[in-house]
Each structure stands twice: as C-alpha cells, then as structure tokens.
Structure 1
Amino acid sequence: MIKYRFARSLSGILADINTIDGSSRIVANKYHCIGCDQEMVARIGERNAKHFAHRSVENCSPITYLHKLAQQTFMLTYERCLAEKTPFMFTITRPWSCTRHEALTGEPCVGEETVDVDLTQYFKKIEVEKGYKGFVPDILLTSNSGRVLFVEIAVTHTCEPNKIALGEKIIELTIKHEDHIEPIAAAHLRENRVRCHNFEKATRHGDICQAPCDRRLNVFVVYRSGKSILLEASIQEYQRIIARESVLHQEVTGWVRSQSSQISTYKEKVHDAYFKGIRLKNCYLCRYHGAGGIDSAVFCKLKKQDVASNDATTCSSYRPVSNKAEWDRIDTTNQAFAERKYDRALVNRFLPSLGRN
C-alpha cells in the first residue's frame, strides 16, 4: 500500500503526517488523497513510520500525487502570503560590472550577486491551470499591469519547448519526492535549485564594491637590474610596487584569471617591453633560447639545459635578438634537443606540454 506524507483535510488544508498525533487524529479523522481524492487514514503507530494510507486499496499514481501536492502547496502558500502581506521570496543571481578600477586594468571587474525578489510585490493574482495564449501553465501569476509568470511542476516531464518559446518567464520546479515541497511551503525559492526560462537579467554597472577591492591584478614589473616578473597583487600591493625605486617599468595586464595563461602573458610583455626600448635582459629574448624547457620555462640551446628566464642578467653568453622576425623564428619548442639529452620515457611524458610553456 502506498504511504504518503501529505493528505487533504475536510477543510481543504494540506495535512502533514509529521504534525499529527493521536488527539488530532480523533478530532480530524477524515482525510483525502491529494492525487486520487480517495479517503485516507493517518497511521501513527509506534511500529512503522507515520504516514497516510488509503482506507482501501486504490490505483493511485504517485506521479499525480506529487504534481498536485506541489501545485496545491504553491497555491495555498502564495494565497496566504498575499492575504497576510508576507513575502514569497525568489532568490536570483544577477550579473554586475564594477568600473571602479577599469581605467587601471582596461576592463571592468565582473561577477554575480544574489538578490531576493518578493514575488507578491509584482504578481497579485494566482490561478491554477488557467489558459493563457493557447497554453495551460500549472500556475499562472499575473501582475496588475498584465505581466505574467508561469510556474511549472516537473515530476517526470520537463517544460515543453513550445511553451518556453512563447517567451514568458517560467519558473520550473523539479519535484521528485515529498521533501522537495518544503521550499514552496517555506515561501522561498532559489534560482540555483530550479530551472528558469526567459529570464533576461540586466547587468548592474557602476562603482559596485564601495570598498577596497580584494581581487588581484597581474602586474608586469621590470627592475633596474634588468630582471622582470609577472606578479599577482592586490590594488593596495600594486600601489606599493610602483613606489619602489628599484622598479624601472610596470604595467597592469588585467585581472588574474588562471595560472595556465601566466607564462604566455609574461612572454608577451617581455617581448613588448624590449621592442619598446625598455632596458631588460631575459632568456626569452636571447638568440640561443627555445620555448618550453622540461623543468623550467626556457631551454637554452647553447648550454643545452633548462634555465630560468631571468638567468640572462648574469649570463656572459647572452645575445639578444635584433628584431621580431628573429625572435619568432627561434621561439620554438625543443624536441630535437630534448630527445638527445633526456631519456625517451621522460621526453614522452613532458613533450605534450612544451608548446604551452
């Protein structure tokens, strides 16, 4: 026999078996199934888990039960919120674009924020299975100005593509078991736990943070010693970097994103700085270098070994390239050198990464 947590009382209220004890069962001793409308009884014995059961064996569909349970819970909860002037919240995410440091980074800082929206402030009317433009949403919310919001209950079937194509906003609630009713009964839905269709959210622009920014910048720094580095720094740390006497040149390359892009960004900035006439020494600029060492970022074709890019500042064999064409020609991977120097198994392990370093 099917065991349900919820049933409908004679007064039309949804009853939760977890709130019923022996005395309340005597007072309200008749319940009906939400799915098939047949009479049910409350089983609250100590042996088995409390549940509602049909008084007689009937063909009741658990799918229909869950669908109607979610539908009626939403309707009753929303109507109560309207009557009592309490909120029915929908927490959504909204993109933002902070322009506070855009002049420094060349791009805004972007992210997402959560916003609580009280649906009862916009939609004052609720109807169940009310036709709208040839479709019948499970629940139709309507504003005073005529805007609508569909609420669809998905137990086994998701929302039809044709209904989505209508273009109206849709909140689709996935209901797989009775516990999924609880957010509806609590009058608080969250976008990350439902499916939303046709929600076009405008990005909030401006000085969003209104506080010291905690995101980190990529800062390319050339020191008077000829060494260079790509640093990750906060806005506050950046201000201290540019105040140092040892710094010859600095450039913010943007917000830090991923480590995989750091080497290519560093090489690009070394190259650009050198051909702009900034005095620096770097193995990436040496005519003996090859891109992609085994253990380090640069492979020295003269020494036939891996080196750090700033080793150029103390290398007596350092010979900088004279033009970009020469740099493009020698800035290649080093498979031939690696095959002669390293064990074949080691080469096979590392070579796929050479082109990325």
Structure 2
Amino acid sequence: MVQYLYANNINGSLVDISNVTHENRERYYCPSCGIEMSAVLGNKREHHFRHKGDSCSYESYLHKISKLLLKWRFDNNYKFEIAYYVTQNCPNTDCCLRDSNCNTNIKELHIINLKDCYNICEIEGAYSGFRADIKLSNSDKPEATPLFIEVAVTHKCSPEKISSGVPIVEISVTNERDVLHPLIEQKTTEPLLHQHITLSNPQYIEEKIKFYNFDRIIYPCKQLSRFIIYKDSNDYIRGGIEKCIGLCNTVIGQYNKASLFEIQFDDSNLTKRYKYHIWYFGISFAIKEGINIQNCRICRNYNSCVIKLPTNKIDVRTKKRFFINVPISQLNDNQFNTTHQANNCRNFTYNAQFITQILNHFKDFKYCVSKPYLPYSKG
C-alpha cells in the first residue's frame, strides 16, 4: 500500500507526518484529490498518511506535493540556491589586468541565490504560451524573462518548452524528499571518483537535476581599486587609494575627471603581503611619469628628520610647555602632514634609490593606467 508523507490539515496547511503525534493529530486531507486521510502512527511501521477511501494516483500526488514543497522552500527561506557548471572565460584578451583566473577553461559550479533575482513564486504560472510547474519572476522587473522549475514524475520537459529559451531547472522526482535536496547539477560524465559515490549514496550516478538555457560561460569580474593623483584644497599634489570602485567589466579605463593621473588594479592586491604598501608604488610610478609629488616618506632625509612636538610637561618657571624632538618616521598621518611638510621644506630631496627599489619590488604587479599624466594638466 502506498504511504504518503504529507497531508493538508483542516486549514489547508501542509503537514509533515514527522510532526504529527498522538496528542496533536487532527483531520487530514490529500493535497492532490482532497479525500480525507488518516495519520498512521504505529510502532512497527514507519509513520505515514493513508487515504480513508480510494487512493488517488501516487504520481499525481507526488507531482502536486513537489510543487507545494518547492514553493514552501522559496517563500520561507532567505536563500533558494541552484548550482550548475560553467566555464570562466573573459573575451578581453588585451586587458592589462588579465591573469590565469580570467580564462580557466575549467568547469566549476556556479552558485546563484534565486531569491536575489526573483521575488514571486507561482504554481502553474504561465509565460509566453507555456505553463510552468513553478514560475519565478520579479515584480520589480515584469518585463524580464522568468525561470521555470519543472517536476518530472512521469513526463519530462517537452522539446518545445526547452527550445523556448526560458531558463529551466528540471527535477526528476521519485519520492517526496527529492525536491528538498540541494538543486545541484551533477557531472555524470566525470570519473566516478570525482562524483563522491559510495554504496550508500549511489543516486549521484543519475542526472536527477537538469539545467536548460543557462549561460554556461561567465565572465570573471575583478573588483577594482585605484591609485589617484590629485590636487588638494591647498594646491598640493597628493596621492591616495580609492577602494572598490567597481567591477572590471564596467569601470576599467574610467577615471575621475578631477584627477591628474590614475592607475587601476585588482582589489585583491590590497590584502596581499607586499613588503611595501601599494601607495608607495603609486607614488613612485607617478614620479617616474614626471609628476612633481612631494611627501616626506619618499625623501632622502625621512629617517633622520625630526620635528619638535609639545609635551604635557610645563616649565614651572616660564609656565610654558616642554618640547621634544620626535622622528617624523614614528608619526602617523593623523599626527603629521607629510605632504604639507615636504612641500614647505627646503631640504626635501627625492630618495631615488628607495623609489627604484619600490618599482623593482612591484615589477610583476598588474595594473592599468586609466588616466595618463599630461604635463599641461598641472595647472
């Protein structure tokens, strides 16, 4: 006899047999045909629901319950993820930031949270002459193509629906739990070793979840930052880093109109352990390009230069504060303005050896000059 794991209560809410006890059980009805069902809670057999009268087709019940469970998953979770195989391949072969990650030619799982793309989940939703078991759409973008989720119990997706171009996730279902598993594409053509198949877990051999009309090639996008040379309110030339300005496929080559010079680089470089901060590379590169940028940190006298700073001690006789000589190399930007000091210091001299050392250290650093320096732009 067929055993059912789900039924509707008198309020029409779906009930899992695992949540039913002798104390809380009530009247139940088949989600497919509406006939009353009873909760069988014996000690010898697995708990289940059973039709009181003639049972409907198990395939019809399975198809209906699968759609209800999928909608419940979508509506009651902040994530509804799918994962399918793609190949990363950036078509911009001349990009100065191109590296091995831009064209791997290796198939890897691409994970999408459908809740980020869609906010409406309809059972038996219609689109372009087709009716989907589950249709996902976005109320903020009603003109956008929806996504279909199809439950295959006895019938697979029709060739016409597949050729429609609508993204389709087809789930082969043999029991109620199938639609509760992660929606992950399996690479059945891979060696069995790579499929993590065991005697207790043989189902991965079968391709139970199929993906139609999904882009199988994605463009890997780097998050970019940039080093920028600009003039401050005092007309001093400064250098600074702007983090996370955008993805390479949209912002590469774009620049700030107020800047004198810019280079862009992969944001991930900011977390790499270089001997020197990338700011030093930007400053050194700008000097190499002929920009007269002055800062104590690139001065030949940086490690020997001192500055008088007031202390908390007061001279009892004169009632004035004592001052102390502090090496400027021990002060941070909040304590000492290295740009202002360098521009007003008659002893400022570029540390050519240090600048060359910086440039050599970053010789393999990938960057893009998004705004070349033009001498007449100095103003």
Compute the TM-score of the two structures, normalised by the length of structure 1. 0.50
The structure with the greater share of residues assigned to helix is 1
Compute the TM-score of the two structures, normalised by the length of structure 2. 0.47
